Amino acid sequence: MSRPLRIGNASGFYGDRFTAVREMLEGGRLDVLTGDYLAELTMLILGRSRLKDPDGGYASTFLRQMEDTLGLAAERGTTIVTNAGGLNPRGLAVRLRALAERLGVDVEIAHVEGDDLLPRAKEFGLADPRYGEPLTANAYLGAWGIVECLNAGADIVVTGRVTDASLVVGPAAAHHGWERHDWDALAGATAAGHVLECGAQATGGNYAFFQEIYNVKPLGFPLAEIHTDGSSVITKHDGTGGAVTTETVTAQLLYEIGAPAYLGPDVTTRFDTIELGQDGPDRVRISGTKGSPPPPATKVCLNHLGGNRNEMTFVLTGLDIEAKADFAKAQLEAAFGDARPAQVEWTLIGAPAPDPATQGEATALLRCAVLDPDPQKVGRPFSGAVVELALAGYPGFTMTSPPGKGGPYGVYKPAFVANEEITHTAVLPDGTSVIVPPARVTADPSLSSLAAATAEAAPAHTPPAPSGATVRAPLGRVAGARSGDKGGDANIGVWARTDEQWAWLEEFLTTERLRALLPETRALTVARYELPNLRALNFVVEGLLQEGVSASTRFDPQGKALGEWLRSRLADIPEAVLSTEEAR
């Protein structure tokens, strides 16, 4: 049996901590270091960048990181696998070879391509009736192109849009010699990859109980020791900040997921089979993960240029906040006249404290976001109209920023293309191209709907819910939460800290209760999924984020704070459940 593969992560998004690559390479032994730079919004940013520079379209930050650390990685014998290639993996690979030659570092570089479907957008019918042809159209490729590159001796593998977990699954499959039908092993590696992909979120970042985490030092980035059966141990380098516990790992497992059947291009991973166990300080074992064949279609990320947007924020202070807000709205609406933008959204944020001791305590914010196809309607004519109210508006009129011209926004939507239509290609270090065939065995297309049908099914082993006297308290006293965006949808994962709390939470937090606690979800479709092994529920709220992050006019366009809003809501919690929380 091969030894465990020790694989780390040094980037969870385009803009993550620049020094993390060096920190991970210097912090301890690593076989592989991954970097995840892509998200749906990132693809839009890179698409706009490519319009200005056809040779661009990749994450330039990664190239600068390699200038600082390429020699160190080669010296340590650490392989680099990254999706920093974005829309131009070939172009980034060319620049990496030039960098290696300039630095005198002998490394073999390969890349994976075939995800870019933009040249075939018309063939696949990917145009949108409102926005026309997409700006970007990228299929979520799997791990096997990475496997081909690594088996050919690559020291660096650059990809475009592969699934985030594929950056981990590929090296694990190559190291352990897995076959494409080793569903459970692939599913286990997918679970580990999902934990690693967002960097320090697995070591205490964005963690509901953050005050319990050692945060004196910068949070360490996570790594996984992946065994030949696909099980793994999540940990971090010794001496780094943060913590790795079953709950920090649970929080990340719940991030941006849907049904328990997690559909990927390599395997369908059953997140409701994942078992976690503390394996020592800062060590969490992931085991028991079951997998099955992937779906017959590949997901495609589409970004369209949707129009133009802008926003201005009024500062409201002291008394009569709602009246001041109404006055500002009426004045600006009148100023629009016939040039009113197509979409205008107002959001009142916060409320003054009683008898405020500081001006901050006396302040609320009124935000106006506008969208329109015509840049003139949302540009300086809009922001200028706001400024013109300064001496004719409500008492204490001020704003958080000077007038701006705004800018374009993108609209995200998913599409699906038959697996066999995708030309998944590994370009090896010697320049040879290898076509990666689609999966020979795929799941029944109705798998996702079957998974959704189990949404409200109660697990048989859930103990009876505690009863007795209750206390009115915030839900966050007994539950953690992690939320995020899935295109225009939002997910809210909620977990209990003890078996007793899970028994209560599973019964209490129905979809109807969630809608009552979060009234902004009442008119939307909400799906509820159970993950009893994690003592967790996952809710997916359809359409809450409108047409995706860039187009959303919500104050929290990525849904990152929805979980904390939910935790702040009051509920009648049994005293017995609260006592188990206090006894922790």
Tokens linked to 475: 């839900």
Distance CA 113, CA 428 (A): 11
Looking at the fold, whether 286 and 366 belong to one and the same domain comes out as no
Tokens linked to 81: 């696998």
Does 395 fall in a domain? Answer: yes
- Let me know: does 204 contact 210? Beta carbons within 8 Å: yes
3-state class (DSSP) for residue 456: coil
Looking at the fold, whether 390 and 429 belong to one and the same domain comes out as no
Distance CA 171, CA 32 (A): 7
- Let me know: does 429 contact 97? Beta carbons within 8 Å: no
Total domains in the chain come to 3
Distance CA 418, CA 172 (A): 26
* Averaged pLDDT for residues 416-426: 97
Looking at the fold, whether 21 and 165 belong to one and the same domain comes out as yes
* Averaged pLDDT for residues 546-557: 92
Half-sphere exposure at residue 161, Cβ-oriented, CA atoms within 13 angstroms? 27
3-state class (DSSP) for residue 262: strand
Does 247 fall in a domain? Answer: no
Looking at the fold, whether 566 and 577 belong to one and the same domain comes out as yes
C-alpha angle 131-134-137 in degrees, rounded to nearest 5? 150
Is the torsion defined by CA of 8, 11, 12, 17 positive or negative? positive
3-state class (DSSP) for residue 316: strand
Q: For 514-526, how does the pLDDT look when each residue is reduced to its tens digit (9 = 90+)?
A: 999 999 999 999 9
Does 199 fall in a domain? Answer: yes
| Residue 460 in this model has a pLDDT that exceeds 60 | no
Q: How many CB atoms lie within 10 A of CB 52?
A: 8
For tokens 């197509």, what's the residue? 342
| Residue 456 in this model has a pLDDT that exceeds 70 | no
Does 530 fall in a domain? Answer: yes
Q: How many CB atoms lie within 10 A of CB 384?
A: 13
Does 250 fall in a domain? Answer: no
Tokens linked to 312: 């201005």
Q: Which domain holds residue 78?
A: 5-207+215-242+265-301+414-436
Distance CA 101, CA 55 (A): 20
Distance CA 298, CA 120 (A): 15
Distances (CA, A) of 343 to 91, 311, 334, 559: 39, 11, 15, 20
Looking at the fold, whether 486 and 563 belong to one and the same domain comes out as yes
Q: For the chain, first and last CA: distance in Å?
A: 40
Does 256 fall in a domain? Answer: no
Residues 509, 513, 517, 519: what is their CA dihedral angle, to the nearest 10 degrees? 140
- Let me know: does 375 contact 308? Beta carbons within 8 Å: yes
Mean pLDDT (the chain, rounded): 94
Report the CATH number at residue 349.
Answer: 3.30.70
SS3 percent helix, strand, coil of the chain, rounded to 5, is 35, 25, 40
Give residue 465's pLDDT: 77
Q: Among 350, 376, 410, where does a domain finish?
A: 410
Give residue 202's pLDDT: 98
Distance CA 253, CA 226 (A): 16
Q: For 119-138, how does the pLDDT look when each residue is reduced to its tens digit (9 = 90+)?
A: 999 999 999 999 999 999 99
Give residue 468's pLDDT: 85
Looking at the fold, whether 28 and 98 belong to one and the same domain comes out as yes
Looking at the fold, whether 145 and 272 belong to one and the same domain comes out as yes
Burial of 130 (0-12, 13-18, 19+ CB in 10 A): exposed
Distance CA 114, CA 162 (A): 10
Of 41-45, 106-110, 271-275, 522-526, which range is least confident?
41-45
Distance CA 111, CA 167 (A): 12
Q: For 46-92, how does the pLDDT look when each residue is reduced to its tens digit (9 = 90+)?
A: 999 899 999 999 999 999 999 999 999 999 999 999 999 999 999 99
Looking at the fold, whether 73 and 180 belong to one and the same domain comes out as yes
pLDDT: which is higher, 449 or 365: 365
Please provide the DSSP assignment of 474-524 as one string: EGGGTEEEEEEEETTEEEEEEEESSHHHHHHHHHH--HHHHHHHSGGGTTS
Does 257 fall in a domain? Answer: no
Distance CA 89, CA 110 (A): 9
Looking at the fold, whether 478 and 522 belong to one and the same domain comes out as yes
Give per-residue burial for 391-416: e unless 16+ CB within 10 Å, then b. Answer: eebbeebebeeebeebeebbbbbebe
- Let me know: does 175 contact 274? Beta carbons within 8 Å: no
* Averaged pLDDT for residues 493-515: 96
Looking at the fold, whether 86 and 101 belong to one and the same domain comes out as yes
- DSSP letter at 308 equals E
Residues 224, 230, 231, 237: what is their CA dihedral angle, to the nearest 10 degrees? -10
* Maximum pairwise Cα distance, the chain: 77
Please provide the DSSP assignment of 381-422 as one string: HHHHHHHTTTTTSSTT-EESS-----EEEEEEEEEEEEGGG-
Q: For 365-405, how does the pLDDT look when each residue is reduced to its tens digit (9 = 90+)?
A: 999 999 999 999 999 999 999 999 999 999 999 999 999 99
Half-sphere exposure at residue 151, Cβ-oriented, CA atoms within 13 angstroms? 15
3-state class (DSSP) for residue 31: coil
- Single-letter residue type at 109: I
Of 102-111, 140-149, 211-220, 242-251, which range is least confident?
211-220
Looking at the fold, whether 352 and 384 belong to one and the same domain comes out as yes
The crossing angle, in degrees rounded to 10, of helices 499-508 and 575-582 is 140
Give residue 45's pLDDT: 92
Q: What is the pTM of this model?
A: 0.95
- Single-letter residue type at 584: R
Name the E strands within 251-403: 261-263, 268-270, 275-278, 284-287, 290-292, 297-317, 343-349, 363-372, 398-399
Does 578 fall in a domain? Answer: yes
Looking at the fold, whether 289 and 377 belong to one and the same domain comes out as no
Give residue 582's pLDDT: 57
